[in-house]
Structure 1
Amino acid sequence: MHGRVKVKAPAEIQAERAREERALAAKFTADLDKAWSKRSNQCFDEEALKLTGRILLQNADYQTIWNFRREIILHWKDHGLPKKVPEPVKLDNCDDQKQDLVISGDAIGDNNQNNDGVSGASILEMEKVYMEELKFTSSCLIKHPKSYGTWYHRRYIILLMQNPPFKEEIQACDHFLDLDERNFHCWDYRRFICNCGKIDPQNELQFTQRKIAQNFSNFSSFYYRSSLLTMAHQEKILNINDVWNSEYETVSNAIFVDPNDQSPWFYHKWLLAVDQLINYQHSKPDSFIHKIVFDKSNGRMIYQFHKPLRRPPFIESSFTTDDDQNVTLTNIEWKKIEPLSSYIWYHQIGNYSIKQVNFNFEGKDFAINLNNLDSESNLKISIVSEMPRTNTSNPESKLDENKLRNLNLLLELEPDNKWINLTLALIKGGPDETAFNKLIAVDNLRCNYYNDQKSKQIWESHVKDNQLNPRLTLNDRHLTCLYFTNNLTHLRYLDLSNNDFLKISKSFNTLILLETLIMDKNKISMVDKDFEMLSLKKLSIKNNCIKNFNLIEPVKNCPLLQILDVTGNNIDQKETSILPSSLEIVI
């Protein structure tokens, strides 16, 4: 039996581990008690820093201890260093690669007197303290690489430094990402360092290219690359048009390598969005004004813009009436649909019949002739500039026939792949209900999302054909939500019966001229608390899932509502008192 190593029984090992853990817990608790005592007594000495160091090496997510550590450092900055500062933290049982992550710094001197004679520590002394803090956070990150508190403290120290070691920090990020290429804390910190240190984005683009080549599944690399390309394009470092095709080729290769990997698909979706934005800029309207509507019934002028405005568009305008009177409005009292920025602004104009509107917007004079009055809707509508084209069927799109052919080839190889099915469904010019129904079959967990996207395409196709018609009917289309409301502001009548709406949302508020809303035979159970339609007179929600009037009480926010039809709902008739007495309720 001699010469053999004694092997401990499992029970002995567990007992020994339990003793070690109890000892560590006792020491940890004792350090915490001392730390709280020192903080209570405003004692910011060397021992306090050591205590926080020991605690954080064991539990790097103890945010209050990080706060105490920052208080100590700020106290030294304002009142001078203690006589002796702790030695750099050394890691036990650490391999050479990880030890290299710890940034080296010179020993901190004992002098606590500034060069200018004041009591605070000198800049040079504090820079050494900050370097030791970077070294300490590296020690914590080796044991706790995804600690929010540690990464935040590292950022905090960088912001305190006069001359942060940006180059060394980038190298530290390289090492940490070699250990875990998906550590999003490190990716965020890298972006922070690059922004603070004005790191050349071309170098970072090369770095992300290397990371993507190493692993196509690294979503963090793709995301960082999209951020870099956007920033570089905005700052005119490069033109994203010049690199779009090469970027698409890279992600296309990744998609064909593993069609089920979501990371390259998200980057693919971003590239398509960039292509649409380019198309939008090419077809950008000359004017920011899309449409002007004169509502004779309510004496109201409505202006719709291509971009949301936070402030009123102008304070003075003039108009010509049908009998050739010239009227000037000053100090216009504007109102808007949204509480902050709004695409739609309107104001009262009085008892006039308008044929021309004149105003100055963004330094340009406009004289807009309104169309003839529609006798049914009592509206005059003028389209100032068409909505820009944004779909990928645009002839200027970079998604050419060859790229589409490759996507369709992938669909033949992977007919049940949700990513390729979704991509092709989204880039087609018109609604593809068959494709979305297939997606619901293969990926039922996201059926609500697919139904919403299908609804969006249906709305888009009808918006194009309904620029001036004040009536719109969309029945039996399985619609689940309302889209493109900014293009439907001229509607007086909207029928959405036999669809799949679950509620009446505040998005209907944008339909500022709508007087009749029919939503019979849906699945509506409630009305949003912010629901408030300015012109609505009749709301029909027959044969839905409404249980009581409390759930549709917000309809009282509509100032002109006269008729509420709730026939066919299993609703308690005794609760009608919560609605205005002037409202005619059909039960």
Structure 2
Amino acid sequence: MHGRLKVKTTAQQEEAKRKEREQKLKLYTAATSGAFKKRLNGEFDEEGLKLTGEILSVNPDFYSLWNYRKEIFLFMKDNKETEFVQKLMQDELGFLESCLKVNPKSYGAWHHRSFILENMPHPDWERELQLCNTFLEYDERNFHCWDYRRFVVLTSDVDLEQELAYTTEKIQTNFSNYSSWHYRSKLLPVIFPDPTHPVRVQEDILLQEHETVQNAIFTDPDDQSAWFYHRWLLGRGRKKLQISCVHASRKTNQILVLLTNYIQVNHGHQLSVNINSSPVTGEWRNVTGTNSYSIIWILTVKDGFPGGEDLSIGVTLLTESDCTQFSQGLQLTQGQDEAWTMASYKAGTRFSIELSAAASSTMEKELEAIQELHSVEPENKWVLLTLLYLMKAIDPVHEKHQDDITEAIEKLTAVDSKRKAFYLDLKSKFMMEKILDVQDVNTRDMTLSGLDLTSLCHTEWMVLVQELDVSQNHLTSLKPLGNLPCLVVLIANNNDIDSVEGLQHCKQLKKLHLQKNALRTVQAFSTLSSLPLEDVNVSGNPLCNIENYTEALKAILPALAPS
């Protein structure tokens, strides 16, 4: 009919769209192919920028093309006049801005913008900071833009207190802005450093920050951003790197060193030994026999300890970055098979620094504030977890808050059941810290049975233990016991253990009782074949249903005593 617009059918529309997509794909493929061909031929010119620009303008996450553009700009920088390069890079910043409007969270575009600014003859940092402001107005939680903002600030002369004020503005607009809180945690130690703790913040500033974050958590107790910042404010202290224990054994011809922190020997740190003032050579290895990061290091004395005389053994730890040294010595007399020295700690101080480096008065005030919030939010997991950490930091040996700590953990497992295993492991960690904090550091016999432990923590502090009982718990793994090179007897009955992984590093283990656990195969013991195991009891495990399992076990463990 005349005078009426012809309307395409659905089928015609789909066909038109299909043809349009095919045409776009052909153009995209041709441009991509052309760009790769030019790169392969070493053609670093403006045509390469044009080709890659056509693709990146619709797909800013094509990393290979960004890399090609980088190569072009580096070539131009080395071969063209400064004014030409400045103009080219200025145009590139405009192009990048259009790409970021397509995808404001494009890793490739933000990284390329950093590259351009680093290589630009005359960068305009104030313009870049304004661009960050613009994009953070679109999305105040765009962490790509926050990362780029930190790059701009670090590279230019932006006033840091001005930046801190900017984070305050963003936080007041939205307490849930995690990136603002995070950026704030990076700025404060630089602007207001604590002279006694280089990575901490001045105490008066910390108190102000506590007020700021309390406003946030009382306004919205369910928002995790402010809680993470609150945890940062309480802080975790840094242990000073030093030697905690030195153990020497004539039987194994080894010297063992326990440190306060993890290091990698010969990578920034050195350990050296002398016996009667003579240096001892050899390779330091951790308990697994490798050179990876560890807190325990072992040196095998190649020719054994000199016999028939008293030995004065000295160990020195050198930190190469600041040339600090820490030395520890011990005496191994003629009639001794072994000797050791272990640093002593005041009860309640061994692990407290891991929980908080804040002053006790600060933590007491925070505890009062969080208890007040708890009275109106009794089932909030963040409130409960923070209460837990504060009480543990204030009362590390559980003399004052024992019942409250236990109640908080039980409540957490109920209100946040998806993380029940985490809270039970945390309970086990606290329990072990309480025990280790008050026990004799020289103990060789230790009992941890019937404590409802789900995991074993801080086993490095049990490095001297020879006999250990962890029966009647809820353990599934013995791997942490690999830190016990002196272990001779292990009783681990009535648990949920399904593997002996870790025990292969207990080179002196002779007695192993694993009754009523979850061990299913005899082959699981193959890693223990080199140990001097004489007494192994696995009754009550599923593997006992295997025919002739005892014979199979003896075949794997040749040191087992005959029945």
The TM-score normalised by the length of structure 1 is: 0.78
Structure 1 counterpart SS, 2:360 = coil
Q: Does structure 2 conserve the Cα–Cα contact (< 8 Å) formed by 1:524 and 1:544?
A: yes
Code of the aligned partner of 1:304:
L
Q: Does structure 1 conserve the Cα–Cα contact (< 8 Å) formed by 2:309 and 2:333?
A: no
Q: 432, 449, 460: which one pairs with 1:486?
A: 460
Code of the aligned partner of 1:60:
P
Distance 1:183 1:396, change over 3 A: closer
Greater mean alpha carbon deviation, residues 292-301 or residues 457-466: 292-301
Aligned mates of 1:560, 1:153 — CA distance in 2: 59
Aligned mates of 2:210, 2:229 — CA distance in 1: 9
Code of the aligned partner of 2:59:
N
Code of the aligned partner of 1:570:
P
Unaligned runs of 5+ in 2: 319-323
Superposition deviation, residue 221 in structure 1: 0.9
Aligned mates of 1:218, 1:500 — CA distance in 2: 40
2:475 aligns to what?
501
Aligned mates of 1:471, 1:374 — CA distance in 2: 23
Aligned mates of 1:548, 1:577 — CA distance in 2: 10
Task: Give matches, 1:53-72, under 5 Å.
Answer: 53-72=53-72
Code of the aligned partner of 1:510:
N
2:169 aligns to what?
210
Code of the aligned partner of 2:261:
K
Aligned mates of 1:170, 1:264 — CA distance in 2: 25
Task: Give matches, 1:290-301, under 5 Å.
Answer: 290-295=244-249, 297-301=251-255
Q: Does structure 2 conserve the Cα–Cα contact (< 8 Å) formed by 1:212 and 1:218?
A: yes
RMSD (Å), alpha carbons: 3.7
Distance 1:222 1:547, change over 3 A: same
Superposition deviation, residue 370 in structure 1: 6.2
Aligned mates of 1:454, 1:237 — CA distance in 2: 29
1:35 aligns to what?
32
Aligned mates of 1:373, 1:7 — CA distance in 2: 110
1:528 aligns to what?
501
Code of the aligned partner of 1:31:
Y
Q: 550, 561, 564: which one pairs with 2:536?
A: 564
Task: Give matches, 1:192-271, under 5 Å.
Answer: 192-232=151-191, 233=193, 239-271=201-233
Matched, 1:288 2:242: yes
Unaligned runs of 5+ in 1: 1-5, 79-119, 319-326
Greater mean alpha carbon deviation, residues 242-251 or residues 176-185: 242-251
Superposition deviation, residue 396 in structure 1: 3.9
Superposition deviation, residue 234 in structure 1: 8.7
1:92 aligns to what?
none
Structure 1 counterpart SS, 2:221 = coil
Task: Give matches, 1:22-421, under 5 Å.
Answer: 22-23=19-20, 25-41=22-38, 42=41, 44-77=44-77, 120-232=79-191, 233=193, 239-272=201-234, 274=235, 276-277=236-237, 288-295=242-249, 297-309=251-263, 310-311=265-266, 314-318=271-275, 327-337=276-286, 339-347=291-299, 348=301, 350=305, 357-358=313-314, 368=329, 380-386=339-345, 387=350, 389-390=352-353, 396-421=359-384
Code of the aligned partner of 1:247:
E
How far does the alpha carbon of each residue in 1:415-436 deviate from its partner, in whole angstroms, 9 at most, with x for none?
1111111111222233633321
Structure 2 counterpart SS, 1:146 = coil
Greater mean alpha carbon deviation, residues 364-373 or residues 225-234: 364-373
Superposition deviation, residue 267 in structure 1: 0.8
Aligned mates of 2:508, 2:388 — CA distance in 1: 36
Q: Does structure 1 conserve the Cα–Cα contact (< 8 Å) formed by 2:189 and 2:199?
A: no
Code of the aligned partner of 1:146:
K
Structure 2 counterpart SS, 1:503 = coil
Q: Does structure 1 conserve the Cα–Cα contact (< 8 Å) formed by 2:351 and 2:437?
A: no
Code of the aligned partner of 1:210:
E
Superposition deviation, residue 171 in structure 1: 1.1
Distance 1:60 1:574, change over 3 A: farther
Q: Does structure 1 conserve the Cα–Cα contact (< 8 Å) formed by 2:217 and 2:227?
A: yes
Q: Does structure 2 conserve the Cα–Cα contact (< 8 Å) formed by 1:473 and 1:495?
A: yes
Superposition deviation, residue 535 in structure 1: 2.6
Q: Does structure 1 conserve the Cα–Cα contact (< 8 Å) formed by 2:528 and 2:557?
A: no
Q: Does structure 2 conserve the Cα–Cα contact (< 8 Å) formed by 1:52 and 1:65?
A: yes
Tell me the matched-pair count.
Answer: 520
Aligned mates of 1:495, 1:69 — CA distance in 2: 64
Structure 2 counterpart SS, 1:343 = strand
How far does the alpha carbon of each residue in 1:284-306 deviate from its partner, in whole angstroms, 9 at most, with x for none?
6xx82222334455454433222
Q: 441, 444, 456: which one pairs with 2:429?
A: 456
Structure 1 counterpart SS, 2:57 = helix
**Residue identity (%):** 30
Superposition deviation, residue 454 in structure 1: 0.9
